Structure 1
Amino acid sequence: MWSYIALLFALTAVAEATEPAKHVVCYQGTWSVYRPKEGKFGVEDIDPFLCTHLVYAFLGIQESGDLRVIDPYLDLEDNGGLGNIQKFNALKLKNPTLKTLLAVGGWNEGSKRFSIVANDPEKRSRFVEQVVQFLQRHGFDGLDLDWEYPGQRHNLTGNNDRENYITFLKELRAGLNPFGYILSAAVGSAEFSASISYDIPTISQYLDIINVMAYDLHGPWDESVAINAPLYAGANDTTERAQQLNVDAVIRYWLDAGAPPEKLLLGVPFYGRTFTLASAEGHMPGADHIGRGIAGPYSREPGVLGYNELCELFQREQWTTGWEAVQQVPFAYKDRQWLGYENTNSLVLKAQYAMEHKLGGIMIWSLESDDFHGSCGGESYPLLRNINRVLFGRDNPTGLAAEVQPAATPRSRVGVEDYCHDTDGYVRDSHNCSKFYYCSAGSTFQFACPTGLSFDYNTNSCNYVDLVKC
């Protein structure tokens, strides 16, 4: 068994090592903190060792080019706010290899304001300046641009979104580079859509990470029931457009169009889509439906069930489950309710696909939809852990558990002191809250938090001073 000092040296080496070859980029929809009961998901529910990058979703954009804080009370600590962003970035104090990104945009933000800003040099400059200042102030490692989608949705006459998007990324890249910030983007997936929005070889020059949203390929907007993110085309996909609506077609298009595979991340959904069948007898993919199906008790959106919601539903009710062998995804039905979803088997296949095609890794939408409590009879975060097992050969990128992470770099080894007495574990200095000790087998190891941080007994790690009772 390693001694504690040997373990510390090994952990320090991990922190200083190069970033893992594969990424696991995890979005958190921050509004999930308002969900009821067991669906409530806050920063304290995030395991910072299961993702290489955590993405805070979302901030908005003003027509002026200013950043828009959508939920100031939640996001900021000003005026008695909850300081969620501060807590989010404090997760890096537990896992020194973790990167955090700020996402701006999203589906609800629309496209109009992005189009207006991207079309105006002064507004672009203002946005870049505001982004850099916000990242610096709050301790993020980069920006994730979620414009959904250039040249589509709220398209403005006279604005060349496709070209302006390139200029926007180029100027963001120039503004972020001096600080070493990451620039990523969430992008549309299927060829008939992505070809409108993106000059793929050119945007790839400016992006560090390209998160391809290879989900919502099917849903209640279709004429018949189909699965959210099939790996391959199915028997019912007879038209050219339909044959583009699967993960394999999406990734092949992006690669053939010039995206570097090491920058391309396969986006996977941690949720399924529900339908109400036209008839209880028609329950195979391709059956007729009359619209959206049931909502989940936590997400409360008709037509959508997070994995945590559906796995609990399967425990309470008798659903019939099936496996679409060609498309390699599961489905389920009960009476006139029909669900196409993801499980550990289908996500393992998608992670293996990413490995086989030498992609940069997997992007996840989103953390709060995994079984983060482990309520369905197994481990917590079963979807995320199984993705990690494929990409890294273990259930997290570093192979280290939260319990054994050092809170700071050891300064020196000292003799047995009054701090430890007969105690094992962490003890804070009684005169200096930024100094603490680890007591083990009669020896005392001294640590010091970085400037501006204090040791927090609640997390056994260094934390922002105003979050620590000293």
Structure 2
Amino acid sequence: MKLFRFLLAGLLFAAPIVCEEYHCTKDTKCESGCCRLEPDGTGNCGLGPTFCGQGNCTSTCDEKSECDPGWGSKWSTAEKCPLNVCCSEYGFCGTTPDFCQGNVPTSPSCSGSSSDARTIGYYEGWNLERNCQTMTPEKIPLGYYTHINFAFVLIDPDTFTLSAMGADVAALYTRVTALKALQPGLKVWISIGGWAMNDPGPSRTTEYPVADDRGGKTEDKENFPKFLQNLRHALDQSGMPERPGLSITIPSSYWYMRGFDIVEIDPIIDFFNIMTYDIHGTWDSADNSIGAIAQAHTNLTEIDLAMQLLWRNHIDPARVVLGLGFYGRSFTMKSSSCLSAGCPFKEGGKAGPCTNTKGILSATEIRQVVADGATVTLDSAAAVKIITWDDDQWVSYDDGETMKTKIQYANSHCLGGTMAWAIDLDDGTTIEELGADLNRPKFPTFDPDLFDPNSDNNTDLGT
């Protein structure tokens, strides 16, 4: 993730003598910014007329700042920062005090249980391909979730029609919608996306518009709201007995969220799902501003920063759903003597017996590791747990205790729900711990002998 790159850049330009890469000479150009040489032949890199103006600049003189701190449009690519974040005196966008100088958005404040309005669970249509710890639709715990989002349905790149990931997945979808007969009021939505599209987000998600490292294009920011508007119109004309729902999933990182025109999108959809998980992972090693250090993939400190991006744009918190992960991100650490957050990692953690993928463990797998004697540490401020075992294995994750802290955060900020990725990564233990605080009736699991899954009463009502 590139969560801090935009923050770090401004800080480095604020104190160029600290870092050699922001120095230049007659023969060495700036990696970023314009080079201004001093009479002694040394030079510093920066932006704006002081560095890039005629008579001051000696190389890379066409560089422009992200935003305009008062220099004029000649020196900047844009007047304001995306998502209404702050423009520093050096022309960089960010949200820390170095950028905002006290200009912090007012966070919404509530008492009560606003997040009880929606409890969304995502169901992975491919989970039966795992070696173990699978979950058929009939085993989904009923009574806890208000919505089940079925992942995924794909968009055919040639015909632009929806298609299932495979015949087996399509059959599972029918079985999931059948659960609505057992839990009155349950909504089953489809999630348009899929790994084949480089798009793991639930609901309708693109990961990520504009981002060139994800195949994005500049025009995505303008075109995505148009696509959603067309989709909204088509859903409204579908003839469904109940108005179909529409939500999108957005990243928690400023770097990627800036590609979404959330103000334009807001009136089109029913709510935003924000992925307040996967904030960190093995991908950090490719980002020089973060590096290969172990950090929790979900923590309240960075979640709050992400939420501020929404408040800066006056998004109604009742239309925001907080993401919870029923899994953890794991690392194999470089040294058994350094196993704390911030220590270097070598690669993703060992694959679990059932998820069978390096760098990730399901909630069920994590519980087994804990039962086998792993060391558990609670980071109360970040509301996340970390376990270490086998000398070099490290994983950050949420359990019922830390998720309840995050739900308290959601309630205190008036959020309109929570979402869990994914139902089938938990054996029911975590959702039962959370569900104990929900005033909802529980229902028996599905009995195929008593219900016809092909009934017309199971029509899907959401996207």
Aligned to 2:142: 48
Aligned to 1:206: 268
How far apart, CA to CA, are the structure 2 residues paired with 1:458 and 1:84?
13
Aligned to 2:318: 262
For residue 300 of structure 2, what is the amino acid of its counterpart? L
Aligned to 1:181: 244
Q: Answer yes or no: is 1:60 the counterpart of 2:116.
A: no
Query: Kindly tell me: are residues 20 and 248 of structure 1, through their superposed partners in 2, closer, same or farther at Cα, counting changes over 3 Å?
Result: closer
Deviation at 1:457, TM superposition (A): 6.7
**CA RMSD after TM alignment:** 2.5
Q: Answer yes or no: is 1:401 the counterpart of 2:443.
A: yes
Residue in structure 1 matching 2:176, options 88, 92, 104: 88
Map Cα deviations across residues 137-174 of structure 1 (whole Å, 9 max, x no partner).
xxxxxx931211111244355x5000101101111111
How far apart, CA to CA, are the structure 2 residues paired with 1:103 and 1:465?
22
Aligned to 1:191: 254
How far apart, CA to CA, are the structure 1 residues paired with 2:118 and 2:309?
21
Deviation at 1:325, TM superposition (A): 2.9
Deviation at 1:52, TM superposition (A): 0.4
SS of aligned partner of 2:282: coil
4+ residue runs over 6 A deviation: none
Aligned to 1:28: 123
Question: For the Cα contact (< 8 Å) 2:387–2:395, is it kept in 1?
Answer: yes
How far apart, CA to CA, are the structure 2 residues paired with 1:313 and 1:275?
14
Q: Answer yes or no: is 1:73 the counterpart of 2:129.
A: no
How far apart, CA to CA, are the structure 1 residues paired with 2:192 and 2:303?
25
SS of aligned partner of 2:387: strand
SS of aligned partner of 1:87: helix
Map Cα deviations across residues 55-98 of structure 1 (whole Å, 9 max, x no partner).
1100111223523534332134xxxxxx2221111110111210
**TM-score (norm: length of structure 1):** 0.66
Question: For the Cα contact (< 8 Å) 1:330–1:341, is it kept in 2?
Answer: yes
Residue in structure 2 matching 1:160, options 219, 226, 234: 219
How far apart, CA to CA, are the structure 2 residues paired with 1:343 and 1:99?
25
Question: For the Cα contact (< 8 Å) 2:252–2:276, is it kept in 1?
Answer: yes
Aligned to 2:411: 355
Listed as ranges, the matches of 1:65-464 within 5 Å are 65-76=159-170, 83-110=171-198, 144-152=203-211, 153-155=213-215, 160-178=219-237, 179=240, 180-195=243-258, 197-222=259-284, 223-232=292-301, 246-315=302-371, 317-334=372-389, 335-370=391-426, 372=427, 381-390=428-437, 392=438, 394=439, 398-402=440-444, 458=448, 460-461=450-451, 463-464=453-454
How far apart, CA to CA, are the structure 2 residues paired with 1:275 and 1:21?
33
How far apart, CA to CA, are the structure 2 residues paired with 1:461 and 1:312?
35
Question: For the Cα contact (< 8 Å) 1:106–1:146, is it kept in 2?
Answer: no
Map Cα deviations across residues 261-296 of structure 1 (whole Å, 9 max, x no partner).
111000111111111111101011111111111111
How far apart, CA to CA, are the structure 2 residues paired with 1:465 and 1:108?
31
How far apart, CA to CA, are the structure 2 residues paired with 1:457 and 1:224?
48
Question: For the Cα contact (< 8 Å) 2:327–2:425, is it kept in 1?
Answer: yes
Taking only the aligned residue pairs, the percentage that are identical comes to 25
For residue 294 of structure 2, what is the amino acid of its counterpart? V
Question: For the Cα contact (< 8 Å) 2:116–2:416, is it kept in 1?
Answer: yes
How far apart, CA to CA, are the structure 2 residues paired with 1:249 and 1:459?
49
Question: For the Cα contact (< 8 Å) 2:276–2:322, is it kept in 1?
Answer: yes
How far apart, CA to CA, are the structure 1 residues paired with 2:147 and 2:307?
21
SS of aligned partner of 1:151: coil
SS of aligned partner of 1:333: strand
For residue 312 of structure 1, what is the amino acid of its counterpart? Q
For residue 194 of structure 1, what is the amino acid of its counterpart? M
Structure ranking higher on relative contact order (CA contacts 8 Å, 6+ apart): 2
Query: Kindly tell me: are residues 401 and 42 of structure 1, through their superposed partners in 2, closer, same or farther at Cα, counting changes over 3 Å?
Result: closer
How many pairs align? 329
SS of aligned partner of 1:144: coil
Deviation at 1:465, TM superposition (A): 6.1
**TM-score (norm: length of structure 2):** 0.67
Query: Kindly tell me: are residues 250 and 20 of structure 1, through their superposed partners in 2, closer, same or farther at Cα, counting changes over 3 Å?
Result: closer
Question: For the Cα contact (< 8 Å) 1:106–1:147, is it kept in 2?
Answer: no
How far apart, CA to CA, are the structure 2 residues paired with 1:300 and 1:21?
33
Instruction: List runs of 5+ in structure 2 lacking aligned partners.
Output: 1-113, 285-291, 457-463
Query: Kindly tell me: are residues 457 and 101 of structure 1, through their superposed partners in 2, closer, same or farther at Cα, counting changes over 3 Å?
Result: closer
Deviation at 1:461, TM superposition (A): 4.5
Map Cα deviations across residues 360-390 of structure 1 (whole Å, 9 max, x no partner).
11011001111x2xxxxxxxx2322333344
For residue 429 of structure 2, what is the amino acid of its counterpart? P
Query: Kindly tell me: are residues 459 and 261 of structure 1, through their superposed partners in 2, closer, same or farther at Cα, counting changes over 3 Å?
Result: farther
Map Cα deviations across residues 297-320 of structure 1 (whole Å, 9 max, x no partner).
1111101001101101222x3211
How far apart, CA to CA, are the structure 2 residues paired with 1:204 and 1:105?
20
For residue 193 of structure 1, what is the amino acid of its counterpart? Y
SS of aligned partner of 1:28: strand
How far apart, CA to CA, are the structure 1 residues paired with 2:296 and 2:186?
33
Instruction: List runs of 5+ in structure 1 lacking aligned partners.
Output: 1-18, 77-82, 112-142, 233-245, 373-380, 404-455
How far apart, CA to CA, are the structure 2 residues paired with 1:187 and 1:387?
24
Map Cα deviations across residues 407-456 of structure 1 (whole Å, 9 max, x no partner).
xxxxxxxxxxxxxxxxxxxxxxxxxxxxxxxxxxxxxxxxxxxxxxxxx9
Deviation at 1:400, TM superposition (A): 3.7
